[in-house]
Homo-oligomer: A and B are copies of this chain.
Amino acid sequence: MATHELPPVTPAVELPPRLLLGSGPSPVPERVLRALAQPTIGHLDPAFGALMEDMKGRLREVMVTENRATLAVSGTGSAGMETMVVNFVAPGDRVVCGVNGLFGERMADALTRQGATVERVEAEWGRAIETERLTAALDDHTAALFVVHGETSTGVCQPLDGLAEACRAHDALLLVDCVTSLAGQPLELDAAGVDVAFSGTQKCLNCPPGLAPFTISERAMERLLARSEPCRSWYFDLRAILAYWREDTAGAPPRAYHHTAPINMVYGLHEALAIVLEEGLPERWERHRRAHEALRSALQPLGLERLAPPGEALSSLLAVTVPEGIDEAAARKELLLEHGIEISGGLGPLAGRVWRIGVMGVGAAHEPQRRLVGALAEIFAADPADSLSALDAAWS
């Protein structure tokens, strides 16, 4: 019996070893990579359906929500943003949009493309927006309020307290970007009264990029189902997507095919969520807080001061101003190419002035921070002793 033989394998491309301490992607544990490499099965296979259900349950736990409509959008974090916009904002809607960094700007841009009337409430890049200014911008014609919980461009955490009540008083939805905060910063979506939230996988979840965790409150679901106009987007149409992600219980109609889900990415996210839940959310939030403070104390002797003021900082991303006299781009390049450590530069008005250092998942730990601090001291030709002892003391 003749069989068709495929050619022999050649080695995969070799990639340099990297310690990912930038704004994301974050370091991916071997365990998640192994999960990703499990054999592909069908997107309509009952075994995949069971995995999806399990994954949804884990996602609910990590997002601290009871929302039945909790899923992973088939794209990166920004695909979650787009899904939010095309499903919950109609052309002509008035939307209040908090803008204090690149990701607020990005949302304002996406809302404008959708035809919304965007009411911007701004703060300086590096500061949170005062709650009163956000709530004062709402009126009875406002469809939604959007804020970025964790601004990846500045390392600022936007408080959510008081927003849900104000939104409900005006019958507006509360929409939140929690890409960089999820699983790294205290966040309980139901308790905060969030209606729709999206996240990414490549930040504090330590999974490669490619999916956008997404959740929808009952209140937002009612609005979605009441829409008379079809969604402008075919790919991100949640009414169709939810017919695929729905619960596959006895007696329920089977999952309806919409598009082929990124199966292996779901394997990876499923495993990454398990790691988060094994540690425990409060423990993980506390570890990120501690790691942020440890790194901050170690970077101060090198002249790297945090951008965000106390009380406004995001645990999972430490943005620091680069001292005068340092060529930030050259130093960052040396860090990457000579030391194999990635950190991120500034964006927009902060370009050339700040570094953004990730404190995300397995990166929020003593050893990777020690490598970073040692390498930076070497690049700065500085004595590392003060920095390292501050770091060690903070972790001891």
Given A4-B287, A41-B18; A233-B13 close (CB under 8 Å)? no
| Residue from the list B12, B74, B82 in contact with A271, Cβ < 8 A | B12
- Kindly state whether residue A270 has any CB partner on chain B within 8 Å: yes
| Residue from the list B10, B36, B265, B395 in contact with A1, Cβ < 8 A | B395
Of all chain B residues, which has the CB nearest A362? B6
Which residues of chain B are near A271, meaning CB under 8 Å?
12-13
Q: When the two chains form their complex, are residues B114 and A76 in contact, meaning their CB atoms are under 8 A apart?
A: no
Residues 1 to 49 of chain A near chain B (Cβ within 8 Å): 1-4, 6-7, 9-10, 12-13, 15-18, 20, 22, 24-25, 27-29, 31, 33-43, 45-48
Given A9-B31, A114-B232; A74-B82 close (CB under 8 Å)? no
| Residue from the list B31, B209, B234, B274 in contact with A82, Cβ < 8 A | B234
- Kindly state whether residue A279 has any CB partner on chain B within 8 Å: yes
Q: When the two chains form their complex, are residues A12 and B267 in contact, meaning their CB atoms are under 8 A apart?
A: yes
Q: In the complex, A17→B236 CA distance in Å?
A: 31
Given A41-B18, A234-B113; A366-B4 close (CB under 8 Å)? yes
Q: When the two chains form their complex, are residues A209 and B43 in contact, meaning their CB atoms are under 8 A apart?
A: yes
Q: When the two chains form their complex, are residues B41 and A15 in contact, meaning their CB atoms are under 8 A apart?
A: yes
Cβ of A233 to closest chain B Cβ, rounded Å: 6
Residues 72 to 116 of chain A near chain B (Cβ within 8 Å): 74-79, 81-82, 85, 106, 109-110, 113-114
Given A3-B366, A261-B76; A13-B54 close (CB under 8 Å)? yes
Q: When the two chains form their complex, are residues A2 and B366 in contact, meaning their CB atoms are under 8 A apart?
A: yes
Residues 163 to 186 of chain A near chain B (Cβ within 8 Å): none
Given A51-B15, A235-B79; A42-B25 close (CB under 8 Å)? yes
Given A13-B51, A81-B234; A45-B74 close (CB under 8 Å)? no
Of all chain B residues, which has the CB nearest A261? B209
| Residue from the list B41, B42, B43, B230 in contact with A113, Cβ < 8 A | B230
Given A6-B362, A78-B235, A233-B233; A1-B392 close (CB under 8 Å)? yes
- Specify how many copies of this chain sit in the oligomer: 2
Given A24-B260, A208-B262; A3-B234 close (CB under 8 Å)? no
Q: When the two chains form their complex, are residues A7 and B45 in contact, meaning their CB atoms are under 8 A apart?
A: no
| Residue from the list B4, B82, B231 in contact with A365, Cβ < 8 A | B4
- Kindly state whether residue A342 has any CB partner on chain B within 8 Å: yes
Of all chain B residues, which has the CB nearest A75? B75
Task: Given A12-B267, A25-B260, output 13 extra A-B contacts at Cβ < 8 Å.
Answer: A3-B395, A6-B279, A6-B362, A15-B51, A20-B41, A33-B38, A40-B202, A43-B209, A74-B76, A74-B210, A82-B235, A208-B265, A262-B265
- Kindly state whether residue A275 has any CB partner on chain B within 8 Å: yes
Which residues of chain B are near A79, meaning CB under 8 Å?
74-75, 235, 259
Listed by A's residue number, 19 A-B pairs whose Cβ atoms lie within 8 Å are A1-B392, A1-B395, A2-B395, A4-B287, A7-B275, A12-B38, A15-B38, A15-B39, A25-B260, A36-B36, A37-B37, A43-B209, A81-B235, A82-B234, A85-B234, A113-B230, A200-B260, A208-B263, A210-B263
- Kindly state whether residue A278 has any CB partner on chain B within 8 Å: yes
- Kindly state whether residue A336 has any CB partner on chain B within 8 Å: yes
